[in-house]
Amino acid sequence: MTFGDVLTDLINGLPVYREGWKDGHFIYYEKDWNMFTEAHPGRDWHTLCSTAPLRGTDLAADDWQVDEWDGEEDKPDHIRGVTKKEVVE
């Protein structure tokens, strides 16, 4: 798929990735925070970005895939319905 094919899913909070990314990382959009998140498997932290962390080669690639969250506990707070206020408290 192209980036255009996965864009709606990305904006709706689903994780997307490229098959060409050898380290297995993925990105998703944090609606409540209005930020993109770059996540790397096996790490306890994610990188928040005000713009999508993509290069021109990523935008032109045709190996994009949409993933699903494995379970409720794997979803970011905003997708589970937890608000920023609840996270802070």
**Residues ≥6 apart with Cβ < 8 Å to 84:** 32, 33
d(CA 27, CA 17): 6
- Of the candidates 6, 45, 9, 50, the one whose C-alpha atom is nearest the C-alpha of residue 25 is 45
pTM of the predicted structure, to 2 decimals? 0.75
Q: What is the pLDDT of residues 10-54, one digit of tens each?
A: 998 889 999 999 888 899 998 888 999 898 877 777 788 889 999
Taking residues 60-70, report their average pLDDT.
89
d(CA 31, CA 33): 6
- Residue 41 near residue 25, CB atoms below 8 Å: yes
